[in-house]
Chains A and B, each alone.
Chain A
Amino acid sequence: MLEAADLHCERGGRVLFERLSFRLEAGEFLRVSGANGSGKTSLLRVLCGLLTPSRGCVRWKGEPVAALREEYARQLVYLGHAPAVKGDLTAEENLSIACTLAGVAASRDAVKSALARFALPHDVPVRRLSQGQRRRAALARLALSGAVPLWLLDEPFAALDTEGIERLGALLSGHAEKGGAIVFTTHQDPGIAATRTLELA
């Protein structure tokens, strides 16, 4: 489904990675690991289409993603380092707005149950939640993104306790079973078997 061909990325005059190629099919996990600053986040951003590689091409189902733009964006969920939640809005408001903007249909009940699954209060402004809770508020979106095939997650297990890690692992496995593809970066042992690993020097 997802194919990276000969990717070459440069940031601030430094070459982060070059001649990077891989394929990812439905139901597969790709784990990207590497030291800090090795380009894990940049790779994810290249795969999203946020960053243009200096050389090489990312293809989704055979088509270059640069040509697909919104069509491709509709087929992926990207969770970056920053939780991408507005501090002044409640978790519920954040989630329903995020879904509407992503074109994912989500009823109020669905939103509430997604939040409940991550043990989050509905109507507290996010800035009053703890760091871990904020992270979970961002991850709650995944619970509503079952229909979105590609999940690109940057350090999804960071700032989670063991229960949270288990919950997330179950969510990811469930998605892969249904035919989704997941790329994630992590420092820690995620506890789920990755189909393949990519080590960035």
Chain B
Amino acid sequence: MKWFWYASPQTFYPLAGRIARWSALGAAVLAVCGLYIGFFVAPTDAQQGEAYRIIFIHVPAAWMSMFIYVVMAVWSALCLALNTRLSGMMAAALAPTGALFTFIALWTGSLWGKPTWGTYWVWDARLTSELILLFLYLGFIALRASIDDPRRADRAAAVLAIVGVVNVPIIYYSVQWWNTLHQGASVSLTRAPSMAATMLAGMLVMALAFWLYAIAVSMVRVRCIIRERGE
């Protein structure tokens, strides 16, 4: 089967390069479109003025941070079940990008918070669970870094990623219950259904751009890992 042929790092290496080049191009194009829509085409928000435009980076970054974690967990499960070297390398390649998006989501959210809530940080359900997601990523990266043997590093981190992915919805719901019981969320981060079509379009385009960027960067990184391990 084609999949298993590509499961060998040597055959995957050139494919990864091709995927990286095309994804990077796609990401650049979509990012330009997305930012253009976000900053020039979408109308000014009635309540928040221009500050809301950070949503075009913040929300796609947050989506990607969660999506990448799930993908990482899938690669980890494959690593443990099928014992292929490439699955472990893919999980390792994705982690720093996931952490980066989580950080961007937190930082842009914080910058958005100042003009809208008057404060840089609030222990809202989403912010808190996003912060913990960052810790989960950092833990994954730290665990890999402390293990010298690449095989053991792959598999130990895989167990951690799977335990973490089970924990992510639990974290989200527990924090949500904690918050709604303690204080009503003063600002809802979900957009009202009647959102201007252009805003939604802008966010989706940016999300796609981030996705292609993540693919490009992780392909480059996996190539580096393949070379490092001398495959």
Direct contact of A and B (CB under 8 A): yes
Which residue numbers of A lie inside 8 Å of B, CB to CB? 11-13
Residues of A within 8 A of B230 (CB): 13
Measured CA separation A94–B198 after assembly (Å): 73
- Nearest CB in chain B to that of A12: its residue: B149
Residues of B within 8 A of A13 (CB): 230
Which residue numbers of B lie inside 8 Å of A, CB to CB? 148-149, 230
Measured CA separation A83–B230 after assembly (Å): 37
- Nearest CB in chain B to that of A54: its residue: B151
Whole-angstrom distance from the CB of B156 to the nearest CB of chain A? 14
Whole-angstrom distance from the CB of B140 to the nearest CB of chain A? 23
Measured CA separation A11–B230 after assembly (Å): 15
Which 3 A-B pairs rank lowest in CB-CB distance, beginning with the nearest?
A12-B149, A12-B148, A13-B230
- Nearest CB in chain A to that of B149: its residue: A12
Residues of A within 8 A of B149 (CB): 11-12
Whole-angstrom distance from the CB of A152 to the nearest CB of chain B? 22
- Nearest CB in chain A to that of B230: its residue: A13
Measured CA separation A11–B150 after assembly (Å): 10
- Nearest CB in chain B to that of A11: its residue: B149
Whole-angstrom distance from the CB of A58 to the nearest CB of chain B? 16
Residues of A within 8 A of B148 (CB): 12
Measured CA separation A12–B148 after assembly (Å): 8
- Nearest CB in chain A to that of B150: its residue: A13
Whole-angstrom distance from the CB of A171 to the nearest CB of chain B? 36
Residues of B within 8 A of A12 (CB): 148-149
Measured CA separation A13–B228 after assembly (Å): 12
- Nearest CB in chain B to that of A52: its residue: B83
Whole-angstrom distance from the CB of B84 to the nearest CB of chain A? 13
Measured CA separation A13–B230 after assembly (Å): 10
Residues of B within 8 A of A11 (CB): 149
Whole-angstrom distance from the CB of A47 to the nearest CB of chain B? 19
4 contacts between A and B (CB under 8 A): A11-B149, A12-B148, A12-B149, A13-B230
Measured CA separation A11–B148 after assembly (Å): 11
Measured CA separation A13–B148 after assembly (Å): 11
Measured CA separation A155–B204 after assembly (Å): 65
Measured CA separation A12–B151 after assembly (Å): 9
